[in-house]
Amino acid sequence: MTATDPWETDWQLARAALEWQVEMGADDAICDAPLCRYDLPEKRETAQAAASAPAAGPVSTPVAVGPEPLADPVAIATQAAESAPDLDALQDALAAFDHCDLKLGARNLVFADGQRNARVMIIGEAPGREEDRQGRPFVGEAGQLLDRMFAAIDMGRENPDPAHALYITNILPWRPPQNRDPSAEERAMMRPFVQRHIELIDPEFVILMGRISAGTMLNTTEGITRLRGQWCDLVGRPCLPMLHPAYLLRNPAMKRHAWADLLSLQAKLRT
């Protein structure tokens, strides 16, 4: 036996449901114009008459409007960086750049440290906890090792002599959460700022400290253990990738490679 729909066999149920809707206030059909249920009766009649009146003039066909194209963070970063005439303007441009979410969770913008007239510019990866707290690059345990490494060849960020001075910055000015690796998108949008940073400092030599720094600026996926010690060109300047001090803290046996790279840099500086 086939079950039947009760609405098809019992019209009393349908009438009761309709009466219930009327009692709840659903007593008007949907119109083309909105109606205020709290208006006085004469105002409601006027609104209903206006809604039912034929429209005057030709009916215009609505034009479909698609979503606005998303902004390109790399293009915006490139324009902002190229427009910076000096280091202070570049720092202001970074502070005003709102397309990198890392900025939202960072305490400070870590721009740079050292002497602006230094012959050697070091580019690290990203700030850590201490760097984010102090607003300076390489001030934690890895930064202390970096200072000792370059002091061994008579160089330092505090040295006022340009021949023995260092200038230090990072690929990212904001700390990634939990010190995670920066994403490809984050590195791409920061690269124009770093490139402009190099042009404004105009160092004789650039040191790319670590895998993230070397991979970003040299546009390569080659590992840092294969890149280190090999001089290359970056923005028209001699460039040397080196092992990051944090990596050396985890792998003390690799310090001999870092020492060889420091001697290579010292030889370049002498000649």
Give domain status of residue 18, yes or no: no
What DSSP letter does each residue of 182-206 carry, written as one string? PPHHHHHHHHHHHHHHHHHH--SEE
Domain that holds residue 220: 74-270
- Other C-beta atoms within 10 Å of 34: how many? 8
**CA–CA distance, 140 with 236 (Å, rounded to integer):** 31
Low-confidence residues in the chain, pLDDT < 70: 1-11, 25-69
Give domain status of residue 96, yes or no: yes
Tell me if 163 sits within 8 A of 171, measured CB to CB.
no
What is the pLDDT at residue 4?
A: 54
Give domain status of residue 15, yes or no: no
Give domain status of residue 21, yes or no: no
Number of domains, the chain: 1
Give domain status of residue 195, yes or no: yes
Prediction pTM value? 0.74
What DSSP letter does each residue of 212-262 carry, written as one string? HHHHHHHT----HHHHTT--EEETTEEEEEE--HHHHHH-GGGHHHHHHHH
Residues 91-124, buried b or exposed e (16+ Cβ, 10 A)? bebbeebeebebeeebeeebbbbbbeebbbbbbb
Give domain status of residue 103, yes or no: yes
What are φ and ψ of residue 208, in 5° steps?
A: -95, 105
What is the pLDDT at residue 1?
A: 47
pLDDT one-digit tens code per residue, 197-252: 999 999 999 999 999 999 999 999 999 999 999 999 999 999 999 999 999 999 99
By DSSP bridging, strand 237-242 and strand 205-209 are: parallel
CATH number at residue 245: 3.40.470.10
Give domain status of residue 95, yes or no: yes
**CA–CA distance, 76 with 74 (Å, rounded to integer):** 5
**CA–CA distance, 77 with 70 (Å, rounded to integer):** 14
Give domain status of residue 17, yes or no: no
pLDDT one-digit tens code per residue, 203-212: 999 999 999 9
**CA–CA distance, 41 with 69 (Å, rounded to integer):** 47
Tell me if 96 sits within 8 A of 74, measured CB to CB.
no
